[in-house]
Amino acid sequence: MIEIKNVSKSFGKTAALDNLSFCVEEGSVFGLVGSNGAGKSTLLRIIGGVFRAESGEALVDGENSFENTSVKNKLFFVPDYPYFFNNSTVRNLAALYRGIYRNWDEEYFEKLLNIFPIKKNDKIINMSKGMQRQAALILALSTRPKYLLLDEIFDGLDPVVRQLVKRLIITNVTDNGMTAIIASHNLRELEDICDHVGLLHKGEIVLEKELDELKLGIHKVQIAFKGDVDEAFLDEFDVINKNRQGNLFQLTIRGEESELMPRLEALEPAFVEALPLTLEEVFINEMEGVGYEIENILR
Amino acid sequence: MKSKTFSDSLKTGVRIFLWSIKSNRALIIIYLSVLAFFGILNTTLIMGVKAYDHPSLIKTALDFMLVETYLTSMIVGFVAAIREYSYLHSKRKTDFFGSLPVSRRTVFFSKTLAVIFISAVPALVVTIASSIMSGVFSFNFDWYIRSLALLISSAAFFGLLSVCCGKTSDKIVSFFIIGIGYPLTLVFLNLLPLSLLWGYVPEKSIVNDVLFTLTPFRGLFDGPSVLWFVFPILCFAASFALLKRRKAECAQSGFAFRFPLYISKVLVSLSFGFVTGFAFVMTEIFGSNEYLSFWLGMITGSLTAYVIFQIVFAHGMKGFFKSLILYGTTIGCAALLFSFLASGWFGYETYVPGTEDVKSISFTDKLDTGVFGDYIIKCESEDRDVIKKAVKSHREDVAEKIEFKRRSMKRNIIEKILNMNFNAAYLYVDAEIEAAPYVYSVTYTLKNGARVSRSYFDSFVEQPDRDRVFPSFAYSDEYRENYYPLFVCDEKYVTDITITDDITEDEGIIVRDYEKCRQIVRTFKEEYDKYGFVSSGDYTIKIDYGEKDGDDAYLVTQMILSVPDEYKKTLKLVRDEYVESSIKKQG
């Protein structure tokens, strides 16, 4: 289990993480989403043992990962821009990892080499961005990590490889009990793979929930009335967003469908419909809720 | 289990080391190609020179080979160090190495070893191979140790700076500024009292020894010594201590630890300030007002250097005015030191110990010998009368001349620094062993064991008084027997004797026959034992002492002696030789 306990980190006067706390259960896929500069990559680097938290603790199986080689042996961090040596190929980089990571799985490495459409003996730095990410992921998975930390892993991957990556992650989670934390802006991909989501904004966690709970807990409601209607009825609901065109309301309301619908139907509308939000819509709504100036940005 | 076992760390360390070697393959290939080129060139050169059977030429060729080999190794070491330590300064490399299950210290140590290995081992192999191939196996171990010490010292220093700096450019600038600026500033700090304090003798001191031991490139200055390794060991220790505390996020964004920046700023201000300050004094830019000249130079040089340096490090003027606090403090400290020195360093200039406190006195002077040439005389006495006279003369002179003497920075610099045996590498003057004309030193050994030494470019005791104060020593038999090569040097070192007739004042004849030379020297000494030094005669002999190398002789010292009329046996030998040789010459 990964426990983030009151973790703070700042760069100069800028606070990147501010008293952050949450847990990532073993065998889960945790999606880390948030605005630009929210602190997602910083958090991954702290968990990965690259950075040290200024206060608080990021515990992996109860231990701090910073300068802790046995903890680091259990995890693998793939940054948003992975580093490769000038002359390294996937094969010779594997030789380095083989001697360093205790759980290196040569058979699985060979298998992954055959699965991914990547040239094994080409210099990695000459490869495309997507290919480099594939190389990084092959090496990462071959170390058989208990915890896999991925930063913008879907960036640059074609749709086929994206599916492959997602499938491999899920296989490792289900078969080997691996835990993955994926920081990404690609919410569509996260939606497919994550079971938990943490939303970061300005170094703070806005929400941390199971994805289903999150998605089913907020609904997009369209409700139309025949005559004039007083907006006071909205006070009875946890409305996050409201858009009114005459007697037609487009609302984002917090709550389960089974609980919302009877209450909405009790208002005797001409039409009512409640649809679950996509993760992207949840993200936008929640971010708006914490003062992210979406309107200004989109305008 | 919090960390891996030692054997695990060793294994991963070896992996990182080998990986570092592997990733520098191209550099090693270029390096070996250059060395191979030099090796072939040198082997050919040495084999060619060997045909002439000339040891000195072979030695020169070997030295040439060593210089070019080790110079190349230093350049390669520098490039390798930049590459290997760059993992601390590149964000992407920091992510890579930071997330590996290897401790920071293991990575750092492995990479440091790789830098030393890459630069040192090929040089050693090529040197030995070249020596074997050329058949002149004269491997200069001293050179190799010196080169290795420099490489280790540079790698350790570069490593420490890498830990402290966030950017490669900052690291390189700090490396050169501290590496050059530190010893330079030490020299200037030692020159300052020498130029300002009248009578100051910069003796060898433990403070200077310690400060000098901290010079990054100490191996450049003296012979093999364990002290060469003090600095690198300190650097390694500091690196190891700081590595764990280092913030990885400082890569590409400033300093992890700011002390190299502060040290660099202080050193750059002081060294440039001193250079310009002393230059202004020497060129008399403001006439006789030396203090004004010095300070104008000091401010001009230090401020200019500081501003440039600040802009380079801060990449602009950001924080410039705030940073001036450090500059002001540095210059303020220098000004305080200057004012203390210029005002006599709390009575140092005027202090002459009381006669009752002095156990013995020693006085070093140039012996004005005429035909005997320039020799340094050193008189020592425990005679109460001599001590009393010396102390009295010294006090009178100090009281009379101090105001005039102390305001002579330029003269002090020229007379003391340029003429004395000032060893810039060791930062002290060994005035008792060697002094130039017009420099006189006096040392009082006090009853409590302390020593008080003063040195003047004008004697504090004028010539007639000097003879009066030190009559029994300046021209004593005791002095002669202890300091004249005639008595000190073994006869086997006599290479030739030149005999001149002082009446005809001709160019003289040279006796090269070893037996004849030895006979003249031995006879002279026998008659000296019998008669002592008496009046001078018609013939003068110049005895050359040296070391023979085949047919060549390397002059070590000379002794010019007038043969007194009383030395009849010597006179006969000298005259016979002179006449015989003169006839041969004419014939």
**What confidence score (pLDDT) does residue B54 get?**
67
Given an 8 Å threshold on Cβ–Cβ distance, is B103 in contact with A67? yes
Residue among A75, A79, A99 minimizing CB distance to B11 = A99
The residue type of A175 is D
Residue among A51, A70, A100 minimizing CB distance to B100 = A100
- For residue A72, the chain B residue with the least C-alpha distance is B101
Alpha-carbon torsion angle B212, B216, B219, B221, nearest 10: -50
What are the tens digits of pLDDT across the range A223-252? 998 888 888 888 888 888 888 888 899 888
CA of B306 vs chain A CAs: smallest distance (Å): 25
Residue among B15, B96, B99 minimizing CB distance to A72 = B99
Closest CA to A223 of A198, A243, A202: A243
Examine the pLDDT at A282 and tell me if it is beyond 50: yes
**What confidence score (pLDDT) does residue A115 get?**
92
**What confidence score (pLDDT) does residue B297 get?**
94
List per-residue pLDDT tens for chain B, 587 residues long: 444 577 878 888 999 999 999 989 899 999 988 888 887 877 777 777 766 666 667 777 777 777 788 788 889 999 999 999 999 999 999 999 999 999 999 999 999 999 999 998 888 887 777 777 666 555 566 777 788 888 899 999 999 999 999 999 999 999 999 999 998 898 888 888 888 888 887 777 778 788 888 888 777 776 667 888 899 999 999 999 999 889 888 877 778 888 888 999 999 999 999 999 999 988 887 777 888 999 999 999 999 999 998 888 877 778 888 889 999 999 999 999 999 998 888 988 889 999 999 999 887 765 444 333 445 556 677 878 878 878 887 888 788 776 666 557 777 776 665 555 444 444 444 433 343 444 567 889 999 999 898 877 655 555 545 554 554 444 556 666 666 777 777 788 888 898 988 777 677 888 888 889 999 999 998 888 888 777 677 888 888 877 666 666 666 667 778 888 888 899 999 988 888 887 777 76
* Dist CA B325 CA B331 (whole Å): 10
Given an 8 Å threshold on Cβ–Cβ distance, is A50 in contact with B99? yes
Q: Does A291 touch chain B (CB under 8 A)?
A: no
**What confidence score (pLDDT) does residue B302 get?**
96
Examine the pLDDT at A284 and tell me if it is beyond 90: no
Tokens encoding A95: 């030789």
Q: Say whether B351 sits in a helix, a strand or coil.
A: coil
Q: Say whether B260 sits in a helix, a strand or coil.
A: helix
First-to-last C-alpha distance (Å) of chain B: 100
- For residue B102, the chain A residue with the least C-alpha distance is A69
CA of B18 vs chain A CAs: smallest distance (Å): 9
Residue among B3, B22, B92 minimizing CB distance to A69 = B3
Phi, psi values for residue B420, rounded to 5°: -85, 170
Contacts of B3 in chain A (CB under 8 A): 67-70
To which residue do tokens 């039409």 refer? Answer: A271
The residue type of B582 is S
For residues B42 and A116, the model is more confident at: A116
- Give domain limits for chain A: 2-210, 217-298
The residue type of B297 is G
Given an 8 Å threshold on Cβ–Cβ distance, is A83 in contact with B100? no
User: From chain B, which residues contact A within 8 Å (Cβ)?
Assistant: 1-4, 8-9, 11-12, 15, 19, 22-23, 25-26, 90-96, 98-104, 244, 247-249, 253
Q: b/e per residue, A168-186, with b = 16+ CB within 10 A?
A: bbbebbeeeebbbbbbbbb
Alpha-carbon torsion angle B277, B279, B283, B288, nearest 10: 30
To which residue do tokens 């094969």 refer? Answer: A91
CB-based contacts of B274, cutoff 8 Å, min separation 6: B184, B185, B188, B191, B192, B298, B301
Q: Does A203 touch chain B (CB under 8 A)?
A: no
- For residue B17, the chain A residue with the least C-alpha distance is A96
What are the tens digits of pLDDT across the range A177-206? 999 999 988 888 888 899 998 988 888 888
**What confidence score (pLDDT) does residue B433 get?**
35
Q: Say whether A223 sits in a helix, a strand or coil.
A: strand
What value, to the nearest 5°, has the Cα angle with vertex B95 and ends A9 and A96?
A: 150
CA of B170 vs chain A CAs: smallest distance (Å): 19
CA of B206 vs chain A CAs: smallest distance (Å): 40
Q: Are B470 and B363 a contacting pair, CB within 8 Å?
A: yes
| CATH class label, A2-210 | alpha beta
Task: Give whole-number Cα distances, A200 to A20, A21, A183, A205, A290, in Å.
Answer: 9, 11, 10, 4, 10
CA B384 to chain centre: 38
Q: Say whether A262 sits in a helix, a strand or coil.
A: helix
Closest CA to B28 of B76, B81, B94: B76
Residue among B22, B25, B101 minimizing CB distance to A69 = B101
Three-class SS of A282-295:
HHHHHHHHCCCCHH
CA of A273 vs chain B CAs: smallest distance (Å): 48
Given an 8 Å threshold on Cβ–Cβ distance, is B1 in contact with A70? yes
Closest CA to B341 of B201, B197, B224: B197
Q: Are B273 and B305 a contacting pair, CB within 8 Å?
A: yes
| DSSP output for A29-61 | EEEEEESTTSSHHHHHHHHTTSS--SEEEEEET
ipTM: 0.88
**What confidence score (pLDDT) does residue B27 get?**
92
Q: Are A292 and A239 a contacting pair, CB within 8 Å?
A: no
Contacts of A72 in chain B (CB under 8 A): 99-102
**What confidence score (pLDDT) does residue B403 get?**
63
* Dist CA B480 CA B486 (whole Å): 9
Contacts of B12 in chain A (CB under 8 A): 69, 99-100
Q: b/e per residue, B531-562, with b = 16+ CB within 10 A?
A: eeeeeebbbbbbbbbbeeeeeebeeeeebbbb
**What confidence score (pLDDT) does residue B548 get?**
65
CATH topology of domain A217-298: Alpha-Beta Plaits (3.30.70)
**What confidence score (pLDDT) does residue A43 get?**
95
Closest CA to B428 of B199, B194, B214: B194
Task: Give whole-number Cα distances, A247 to A236, A239, A261, B114, in Å.
Answer: 18, 17, 18, 76
Q: Are A48 and A65 a contacting pair, CB within 8 Å?
A: yes
Contacts of A87 in chain B (CB under 8 A): 23, 25-26
Q: Are A186 and A153 a contacting pair, CB within 8 Å?
A: no
Given an 8 Å threshold on Cβ–Cβ distance, is B4 in contact with A70? yes
